[in-house]
Structure 1
């Protein structure tokens, strides 16, 4: 509705005449007639404070009141739960209207929530939301309309991918759960299972398979929690049966002097922690009886032979492994120095005048064919033709012993 008012002054017996006119239709312009179907409900601003002059009057002043905006009641769309993005649907407003927004929680203004969309937070859980839409346009009265209550809001739903574990685990292998992308801010907890039974203490993201897991399938359950959201648990698919582990090994090394009577020692190197190690020594590939220590003293039987040592590692849940050292050649025994062949000692020799040498004391008388020993009665009076070392040598030469 538009109001037009004016004042006129005319001398009528000294009295002034004032007149006010109330119009119920729009006045587009002075002297103009609205066309059929015109729907503008407000007086154009151009008419405000227009001055007119008419015969018999002094001045006229026209003032137009602001127009009224057409405004639809907004509504809220989206899932009524924490973490969801909600949108204000504003409906039809007078063309050219600029709209602003303010979201409310249980009737209380939400600081900073002034966009057309709003993502529900943990603070909204259990409460209803509304949105107020304010429209403004030059020449119109600013107008605010509020939506119906939306909610109360339920707990949010966490994004929870199914975790994965290595498909073919082995004993001793460190396994790590691949959890994917959960809702930001979610706190995750873990529980590993062996053939469906929880493994005591296995509550970290990673787990090292033990001997108890051999031949069994493993899974991991991941549980996510966040304030304002419903806690959610998801479990991985089963792994294959856990296989025997592979030991970390080292090639043994032998040190020492490779000579009979000397000691050889084996260095076994670094193996998987907890591995039980044993060793056995070999001579030319054949096991040496009783030689099972980390040291071995070489014997004469080892001279000229090749000595090796085998180290065997074993651990529960792992495949047993044997590693062999490089061979060590033992020095051959030194041959004893050859003894000089003694010169043969002659059993007979020539006399020295009437005497025989001390090495051949027996005197032989060729004329009589008799030999005399030093203790004989005629020994000193006999002049020998031959001297013998032994009586047997004299007899062999054809002599007989003196009777005296």
Structure 2
């Protein structure tokens, strides 16, 4: 029992050292009961020294430690303010990182082996934001004319800890004019440092140039008459600047779009419905480039073909034959060629230069014209002449047919005896004849006046051979002739 009391006494003495409030031990001869620990743990929160006043310039690592004569059973913490969260330690001490920009309060709670608790708070101020800078009055990348006046203002700000320094390189006063006495590029750098040592920089560059060029004579565009046509080749020249430009750049525009560069431009189908123009830029060392324009030539319209002569139509305008067109020379080369054939009142459009003549075309007048097409150009039509026709070249021709074929010869019917009447049975042809004429023959010779479909035999016919010759005629076709077999007259 004494050994236990001695150990307990040692623990009580330790409690006195930590808290300085432990109760007195019982004196010898009194009640031997050891007093209980009724005081919570002692909590220590340590942090690095702040950089400026109570502020740190970055993340802060706090060391937390709890002690108690009865031992520490549990330690936890919570964070409130700029940074929130919490946690606990597996032992009586640990570390907590506070990094959020602003003010954060840590509250630590510890519980000892007797169930007594204690709480302690600590406030941490962190400036984790770099200072801000501004350069106003001159744009970054500006081109400033030599000798011109341009004020440049600078400022620095830090909302947490304030600004320790705000200075430019090269040194200058806010609101003073920038140096424009020397040609070339200049750079000004502003550096800001706040009271916890955080810095930020901002740079601005500008170029000092000679004054801009001035146009004394605008460019001139040639190569067109009136509105520019597709296929026209436009030329530009004559732009003059002061002081004289060392070189010129020409840009051709379609509306507001730059489509080509150079001193010449061919108007294309893509330009239709748009204004075509040109702009010129003068260049001179040490001077700002000057662009003049746009000088619009006009609204682009369709171009035209140049056709030399007329087409030539070869072949014979006869049923079963084929007519062929040879186009004339044309410039520029078309992308497609159309052949418009007119047969009577019917128009046939094809992409081939030939037309096969059919029986349905017989008697119809045939002509053809050739059309040339290309994007952005008006279709050019030219007629074709037919050579070899009676009277020389002509632009139209009537299609003639072939003679009808005899499928069955005519025949003589009736009694072949003097005084009797003979009749003719018409021939059967491959087509319908418009008119049939007859001529009776005696021994193959014409009988005068015997031109009807009937014939009365005479005395002169006795012993002779009588036949009939039929002539079938159709407009625009050769006549077809057929003779019947002869019959002997009794």
| TM-score bracket, shorter-length normalisation | 0.3 to 0.5
From the CA coordinates, give the structure whose radius of gyration is larger: 1
TM-score by length of 2: 0.34
User: TM-score normalized by structure 1?
Assistant: 0.40
| Structure with greater contact order relative to length (CA < 8 Å, sep ≥ 6) | 1
